[in-house]
Structure 1
């Protein structure tokens, strides 16, 4: 059985019945449009002065290639595609660089030739260097991925809010009560359906909310479908529609920076959906995702489209509905391809009023942040470095998100980083994690204060009943220990030193059978069976609570080799170790001990562990370790 668990893997590969597959897939398409799927072609066309016919071609090309990219990512082939329920959309971070590159190259359709040349080359480069991304997983512990995913959700919420107020353009009116009613009504329908419905209805709550909201707007005259009648039935995307792509080093470098930024967003989305699926992210997962991005971007350049990234709003939809099948996403990709080939279909979807889409987006974008909160709940915030990483990255991201014009304060070449709160927040989280956790000498983290009740006073300890004493100090050892009862008989204690000495004397006077039974109660080092507040704190001190997959494998292999050699689990006082490398090095050294020597070492390690835990329980009982190595 794998660490990922068979149940969740089966859910990813499950193929729902045809009817549900179609409905679930179309619901993801609507979420895709709610995230502004066609905004980027419109922004690009207006900035470059393209004709309406050229704009239609850009929209069709974007929809078609987003569908292709989604299928490549979710279905996958060979070593391409992460095979998770991830929907691909056009990356917003690419807008400004594409406009700048095109204008520098002469603007209009002529300038787009240089844009697409850079996109094709960067897609191929991304595909080639994808294995390098697999090596950076260790730099994305929960404190980084949780921060990035939280930032993505929070940064998207203002977009949803603007849409809920009518969207960009003349319909935007924050004081319009009808817009508010559409937005909050759609949100209320989604929440109500999840409250009162079970099974299928609950899983299509977003789709029903959009349908009911759009119907209400149509009945009240706030939307119409006249564009559907005027739209063409067929709209083919011709390769190199704007001419043969032109290659230039400067634009290629600019677009490569875009690809690196989208790689961070894609990595965050992979971690987010893996969190929903309760499975570990492996380095190979990131490499597959990056290959799919690179290949899709290169194809997009040929078909006159744009760079892609995983759409986080669809990750939120996966969380809301609980439908985790990647085949649902692949069907959504087919729908997007149809929208790109049949403009009438696209016209129907674009007729949904902005406030209705905004109301649904509020739920989906906020749900992305909820996934981030879930990941951050596993972070050891007693380590102030982690608190600093989360606080600084979210703070900086919200600064840029709330006041986007601050990008004017930096040189134009740096605006690609400062222009997006998601980008700047992600770069901050990654950078601070590198500086605080990986660069320079690894300093030992101080043991955090226990979050439980106040420490026990000596007076209280001396007044305890025998049962109270046993219950209070049971956490010193991983399993039951007669030493606690023997120490209880030595009361009263004059001070904390006497208490510590009594516990040590009682422990070291244990028989060999008692010690052997006690050692057997300890779990494999860093294994999943570790339980209890004290044990959790021990693990977090050495960072064993936030290991990437490849490091967890190394630790598991060490623990397995130790148990096979000596017949009992590897016990180590983690609070005496500063980081994982120290744990692995010491464990490897101990594998060379004799059985008798290792039994003695393990007994001393249990005493060290109990010593630290005593300091957590009793006031003024600071560790006083005088044990040989």
Structure 2
């Protein structure tokens, strides 16, 4: 039997009842559903898909999210990191995929996804060997930036979604968004047991209910959706392989692997599990296979959703069982577009209110990880200060690199990537390449401090 820190996988899965796990799984689903659906809507619109094609794209995308999630949950000799992760399509793929699809055709776009997925699968072993480059000073900085750099996205959604609209910040949007936040905070502060773990779900329900009373809910998407369909390989186009588009998506895939690494370590910190190179290799392989399947079924590449770290933190339930339910719910919703369309009626402002809380929790999780860092060493202070400063700075002003070539902008305008690169490089420069004399001096200093404490 497989064990994690003395607790068997079976015990981990059975540590919560099916009913509670199903409800918690539905909460995870609602958290990631809108964000993932947005990717499909944006790319579909950019490629001038018809309403029927976009509806199909959204539902198949949700189905593949379920497949990708289940690939990560189940630990096998080949794939699966075995952490409570939910997978979806990262927002950073929208611009490169739209550009490839518009300029080279959707066949080339799907070929680039498959090519990048094969690359991720093949380098998973090598990438996992560099885990020593991700100590708490690096992963803590990365998770802090992942959380706090996404807070503005939550604020934009809270205001209505479109910051250029004349209705942005309408009092109705603010009312339902802040009501969602207040309900989440009240439930998390005063509710007990299982009800406390449902704080996010109850906040979403409360905000949506108020929006319905204000006439802000439309059931038209549900009425237009069909009842059932099966995902079909190559539904839109047969993949075509072109080297420059594949190279572009490989760069994007490296950024998502870095982000996934940070999320893996954050979840491991929450669940009290130690990750080794074999765990990371299986995790990367699962994401590579998910991307290959995404290209075959004409959807997208998939990676770990950082939003769900906040859900896990707030619910306090660390078992993978709710995520299994979430994965199966995603499969069902992908097969039943009319039922799945129900989740689309949740107003953007309601989701924004919940996202602010969840992204903030992710950022705080990064700060908690930084508590294990020795800040008496000025080098660690510099690593955290510079990497977080660069990451948040680029997030606020990505146009600072607007004069650079598109290939460079693709990398440099991603705050998470900038934070990752700077933290890894600075840590390698200051800590990994320490001289033997300095290492001995630090060991002696630590020993003296422990004796003085005693």
Task: State the TM-score bracket (shorter-chain normalisation).
Answer: over 0.9
Counterpart of 2:339 (choices 334, 341, 345) is 345
What corresponds to 1:58 in structure 2? 57
Are the aligned partners of 1:41 and 1:55 in contact in 2 as well (CA < 8 Å)? Answer: yes
- Output the CA distance in 2 between the equivalents of 1:288 and 1:60: 27
CA, structure 1 residues 27+3, in 2 after alignment: closer, same or farther (shift >3 Å)?
closer
Query: Match for residue 322 of structure 2?
Result: 328
Q: Is the 8 A contact 1:116 1:246 kept in 2?
A: yes
Unaligned runs of 5+ in 2: none
- 1:260 is displaced (CA, Å) by 1.2
Q: CA deviation at 1:8?
A: 9.0
User: What secondary structure does 2:233 align onto?
Assistant: coil
Q: Which runs of 5+ in 1 are unaligned?
A: 106-110, 448-540, 543-573, 577-608, 618-629
SS of corresponding position for 1:102 = helix
Find the residue that maps to 2:402 and give its secondary structure: helix
Q: Distance between the aligned counterparts of 1:229 and 1:166, measured in 2? A: 23
1:398 and 2:392 equivalent? yes
User: Secondary structure at 1:37's aligned position in 2?
Assistant: helix
Larger Rg: 1
Q: 1:76 to 1:281 in 2, by over 3 A?
A: closer
The CA distance in 2 between the partners of 1:126 and 1:337, in whole Å, is: 24
Contact (CA 8 Å) 1:8, 1:279: kept in 2 or not? Answer: no
Number of the residue aligned with 2:355: 361
- What's the counterpart of residue 6 of structure 1? 6
Q: What is the aligned partner in structure 2 of residue 203 from structure 1? A: 197
Mapping for residues 91-490 of structure 1, pairs under 5 Å:
91-105=90-104, 111-168=105-162, 173-439=167-433, 441=435, 444=438
1: distance between equivalents of 2:345 and 2:448?
Answer: 66
- By relative contact order (CA 8 Å, sep 6+), the higher-ranking structure is 2
Deviations 1:226-260 (A, max 9, x none): 32122111133211112221111111111111111
1:37 is aligned to 36
In the TM superposition, what is the alpha-carbon distance from 1:160 to its structure 2 partner? 0.6
**Distance in structure 2 (CA, Å) of the matches to 1:227 and 1:349:** 10
Distance 2:97 2:148 in 1: 26
Matched, 1:16 2:16: yes
Distance 1:6 1:343, change over 3 A: same
Whether 2:82 is the aligned partner of 1:79: answer no
- Relative distance call for 1:435 and 1:289 in structure 2 (3 A) is same
Q: Offset at 1:7?
A: 5.1
Distance 1:253 1:332, change over 3 A: same
CA distance in 2, matches of 1:172, 1:74: 44
Contact 2:204–2:351 at 8 Å: present in 1 too?
Answer: yes
Question: C-alpha deviations, 1:385-406, integer Å up to 9, x for none?
Answer: 1111111111111111112322
Q: Which has the higher helix share?
A: 2
Q: Greater shift after overlay, 211-220 or 225-234? A: 225-234
Shift of 1:104: 2.9
Against the structure 1 CA distance between its residues 175 and 164, is the aligned structure 2 distance closer, same or farther, given a 3 Å change threshold?
closer
- How many angstroms does 1:52 deviate by? 2.1
The structure-2 alpha-carbon separation of the partners of 1:138 and 1:224, relative to structure 1 and needing over 3 Å to count, comes to same
Mean Cα deviation higher: 92-101 or 64-73: 92-101
The 8 Å contact of residues 317 and 364 in structure 1, kept in 2 or not, is answered as yes
CA contact 2:36–2:90 (8 Å) conserved in 1: no
Separation of aligned partners in 2, 1:314 and 1:238: 29
Using the size of structure 1 for normalisation, the TM-score is: 0.68
- How do residues 466-545 of structure 1 correspond to structure 2 at under 5 angstroms? 541-542=442-443
How far apart are the structure 2 equivalents of 1:226 and 1:140? Answer: 47
| 1:58–1:305 CA contact under 8 A, matched in 2 | yes
Distance verdict in 2 for CA 1:247–1:611, change over 3 Å? closer
Which position in structure 2 is the counterpart of 1:621?
Answer: none
The answer to whether the Cα contact below 8 Å between 2:237 and 2:298 also exists between their aligned partners in 1 is: no
Give distance in 1, aligned partners of 2:61 and 2:413.
23
Q: Is the 8 A contact 1:183 1:355 kept in 2?
A: yes
- 1-side partners of 2:318 and 2:448: how far apart? 44
Q: Which residue of 1 aligns with 2:89?
A: 90
* Partner SS state of residue 368, structure 2: helix
Whole-angstrom CA distance in 2 between matches of 1:227 and 1:102? 26
**Aligned Cα root-mean-square deviation (Å):** 2.4
Q: What is the CA–CA distance in structure 1 between the aligned matches of 2:212 and 2:376, rounded to whole Å?
A: 54
**SS of residue matched to 1:118:** helix
Shift of 1:84: 0.8
The C-alpha deviation readout for 1:475-533, integer Å capped at 9, x for no partner, is xxxxxxxxxxxxxxxxxxxxxxxxxxxxxxxxxxxxxxxxxxxxxxxxxxxxxxxxxxx
8 Å CA contact retained: 2:391, 2:416? yes
Distance 2:45 2:24 in 1: 34
Counterpart CA distance in 1 for 2:166 and 2:15 is 41
